[in-house]
Structure 1
Amino acid sequence: MKRTRWQAHTKQRQEQGLTKDDSAKERILLAAEELFAESGFDATPTSRIAERAGVPKGLVHYYFRRKPDLLSALVVRLPEAQIEPSEVVVPGDIAGSLRKLVAELDRRLDASRMLSHLLWREADTHRDVRDALHQRFDSLVRQVRSVIVAATGGRLERADVDSASGLLARAVSYRHSVARHSDDDPPGELERELDFIAAALTRP
């Protein structure tokens, strides 16, 4: 990860209100996020986190007894993924409703692309992170299902809705798991998939 990119990322976080005057715990979390992304979790000692955060090493262990506790805390920092169906549903338009849902999920991801990618990368070796991301995936499936049901008035077969919800949730989760910067997603990403799902659900 190039340092210049992380400088831009840090500036973005500062523009969101995370300045040098924030609490020591906040500085520790921001430093951990940056360093884990730069060097990986296992290769980052807590001493480097303390140095980057500008705090004594003992303070890192005061807030986070074990280094994996930092990862668990970073999961909590992911943007809230729950979206009310009323915010995105276009009655009678499945594709339009799902398109608005995906756009809103992507908008929230934009505030934490590096963090999202970091956590998905570390999920392979850290069960707490993996479990937390699985819970977010299950929540995403329920969101997609609720949007489809609301857009169609609940007139579709439950099995079809469940299949469509799982497929779209997996597609969105995959994109978010590999997200690094805005250039990763070409224009119109998922457009064909959304149209295909809508057509499959509404076919005679």
Structure 2
Amino acid sequence: MSRQQGDDGGHASARERILLAAERLFAESGFQGTPTSRIAEAAEVPKGLVHYYFRRKSDLLTALVERLPDERVDPTRVVVRGDIAESLHRLVTELDRRLSASRMLSHLLWREADTHNAVRDALRSRYDVLVGQVKSVILAAAGAGTLALTDVESAAALVALAVSYRHSVARHSDAPDEIRAELTFIASALTGRSGTVRVAPARAP
């Protein structure tokens, strides 16, 4: 059977089974402790089919990174104008919701990042995206020119680190109230008050 035929037929589902088996076994026994023969057995495919789709075992990790949910959130969906803390909390809640079905995968990839450059680079890229969108949410909630940009950048990095840590140890949940205090503290540090900023009414042209 040709590769094209395989992709259109049974091999497409076989590739999915291979990835699911690799995710489970890597989480249970670690990357180094899981031979491809065991992955093939768990996926119920010939060992050669594993190498057909993934030339090196590390390619399985790269493919698993791509299975993480998209972390880009439209700021307009979460921003409460004038309330930085609540806006950040809504952002974190949405990120947690998206990752709730991938807790084991998230923990696995963060654990393997120290020894696999492709995984580390991919997770770093996700972190950079997270910093950018936290910054956008803070600025949208506070209003243009309300806060010093250097303070916003520092706060965005802190929030991104906190969220990344939660996801790396798979402690995220459907109700991320445990991080609310940290978000409120960061918002208070930015505004010098309780996380709520007063938004000036728009001036008539």
**Pairing of 1:85-96 with structure 2 (within 5 A):** 85-96=75-86
By how many angstroms is 1:154 displaced? 2.1
In structure 2, the residue matched to 1:173 is 164
Asked whether the equivalents of residues 80 and 141 of structure 2 are also in contact (C-alpha less than 8 Å), the reply is yes
By how many angstroms is 1:21 displaced? 10
SS in 2 for 1:190: helix
Name the CA distance, whole Å, in 2 between partners of 1:181 and 1:161.
24
In structure 1, the residue matched to 2:59 is 69
By how many angstroms is 1:187 displaced? 6.5
Name the CA distance, whole Å, in 2 between partners of 1:88 and 1:181.
18
TM-score using structure 2 length: 0.85
In structure 2, the residue matched to 1:108 is 98
In structure 2, the residue matched to 1:198 is 187
Name the CA distance, whole Å, in 1 between partners of 2:47 and 2:169.
32
For residues 75-124 of structure 1, give each alpha carbon's deviation from its aligned partner in whole angstroms, at most 9, with x where no partner exists.
00001111010110011110110010010111111110000000000011
Structure 1: runs of 5+ lacking an equivalent: 1-19
By how many angstroms is 1:199 displaced? 0.9
**Which structure: larger Rg?**
2
By how many angstroms is 1:188 displaced? 2.5
Name the CA distance, whole Å, in 1 between partners of 2:26 and 2:66.
16
User: Which of the pair has the greater relative contact order for Cα pairs under 8 Å at 6+ separation?
Assistant: 2
By how many angstroms is 1:62 displaced? 0.5
Supply the RMSD in Å over aligned alpha carbons.
Answer: 1.9
Name the CA distance, whole Å, in 2 between partners of 1:62 and 1:73.
14
SS in 2 for 1:90: coil
In structure 2, the residue matched to 1:188 is 177
* Cα distance change, pair 70–143 in 1 and its aligned pair in 2 (3 A): same
By how many angstroms is 1:175 displaced? 0.8
* Residue correspondences, number: 183
Asked whether the equivalents of residues 93 and 175 of structure 2 are also in contact (C-alpha less than 8 Å), the reply is no
SS in 2 for 1:43: coil
Q: Which runs of 4+ in 1 moved over 2 A?
A: 185-188
Of 52, 55, 61 in structure 1, the residue corresponding to residue 42 of structure 2 is 52
By how many angstroms is 1:186 displaced? 9.2
By how many angstroms is 1:22 displaced? 6.5
Q: Percent identity?
A: 70
SS in 2 for 1:23: helix
In structure 2, the residue matched to 1:161 is 152
Structure 2: runs of 5+ lacking an equivalent: 1-9, 194-205
Asked whether the equivalents of residues 161 and 201 of structure 1 are also in contact (C-alpha less than 8 Å), the reply is yes
In structure 1, the residue matched to 2:31 is 41
Name the CA distance, whole Å, in 2 between partners of 1:163 and 1:106.
22
SS in 2 for 1:35: helix
